[in-house]
Chain A
């Protein structure tokens, strides 16, 4: 027992040795990182894109404004981008001026917003779960005499901040939050690259063409929703001559 006692005493003394004053000092620094969400859409376009139909050819063949708008995206979060056509009632153009008396009841001033067609250069690559006939605006404009109801028609809504559904068109990304399927990842047109020789531009840059095809009579034969349901004027009707306007918004938002 004495031996055990000595061992214990020795251990106790050894454990006490480090309690002598020793060099030790410590200073602390705290690093805080604030990652704020960035959604930046750079748009190059004229303030107003005008379509003036003043000859038969422009009615028959429509008018196209190539490359009228360029969209460039930089985002730190997964994102969607959509275009929305809107007006006072969200369904038809706002008539600013009408020419003539317009006494004929078949002269219609409620022209469908979907008469505006868009074509995007750079396809939507994040639309795996889209359910509509068209997931984006990448389809080429159809020949003027070939019906393509709703294929390129702009998504419309009276409230432009209501995002399109899974059955509607987006420019990039889509309704839903499935990773790598419904939204484009964070990135920027400044750094994103595409395969050499592919002819594609990056997932963060889009060139938009516009077309309006009145037809003759001016019923806007391609106007329609994304399911292909026509919204053109009915047979016998025609667009009342005048000045019309609508608003196109491009909305960049976090994937949702």
Chain B
């Protein structure tokens, strides 16, 4: 949502800037040049295409809790880890504007860098004292699957690259795999209402910290992004 607002501001600023007196032309060109690259690195940014219908016609429906707490209060939990199965369910609806409608689904990890969190670590909420290291982002494991195993690496626990903003592609392909194919990377227009096994996704989370980390409270955020793919 924040990026979308930015895009509007960016376009309007460009129009206002560049429609002024001649003396502003140089500034206008510089501003456009500076603004264009920013657009490319923002998370969940919309691509320059409108082959699919926008929100709310196309959307993600998230079921399950928005907060998942992993409490390690026994030795066996530390060693064996904790898995929360089916913690998040995503249901997608993507309606087309034309036959070229194609989408991708990603999940980004965010460790709240505004809290001065090192780029590769979990955000520390509190410390209980003691020694050890702060857990890295790649401690979190996610398993994403559905009835047709359409996700990349479906049913396999995966880790994020330990860098804030890294992502895992759930659905992404260069060609359109139409709904009803029941194969990997179905990315055409469709809906969980008509093709449930392809447009719904279940996510399991697992943490297996072992005994090396500093006792404390830690947090990460995950952003599931549905955007049109070109």
Contact = CB atoms under 8 A, between A and B. Distances in A.
Interface of A: 1, 4-5, 7-9, 11-12, 15-38, 40, 74-78, 177, 179, 183, 185-188, 190-191, 254-255
Interface in B59-86: 59-60, 62, 64-75, 78-79
Given A23-B58, A186-B132, 4 more contacts: A12-B19, A30-B220, A33-B217, A185-B212
A22 B66 contact: no
A120 to B, nearest CB: 22
Contacts of B68: 29-32
Interface string B100-140: 01010000000000000000001001001111100100011
A18 B224 contact: no
B interface majority secondary structure: mixed
B145 interface: no
B171 to A, nearest CB: 13
B227 to A, nearest CB: 5
Interface residues of B, number: 86
Contacts of B225: 24-26
A23 B46 contact: yes
B202 interface: no
B14 interface: yes
Given A29-B222, A31-B205, A255-B131, A75 B18 contact: no
A36 B72 contact: yes
10 contacts: A18-B47, A21-B50, A23-B53, A25-B225, A29-B221, A35-B135, A35-B218, A74-B75, A77-B211, A78-B131
Interface stretch (B22-30, B147-155, B178-186): B22-30
Contacts of A37: 128-130, 215
B7 A18 contact: yes
A76 B78 contact: yes
A187 B211 contact: yes
B18 A11 contact: yes
Contacts of A255: 131
A75 B62 CA distance: 38
B198 interface: no
Contacts of A26: 1, 44, 60, 223-226
Contacts of B122: 33
A24 B70 contact: no
Interface string B30-66: 0010011001000011111110111100111010111
A7 B25 CA distance: 9
Given A30-B68, A37-B128, A22 B59 contact: no
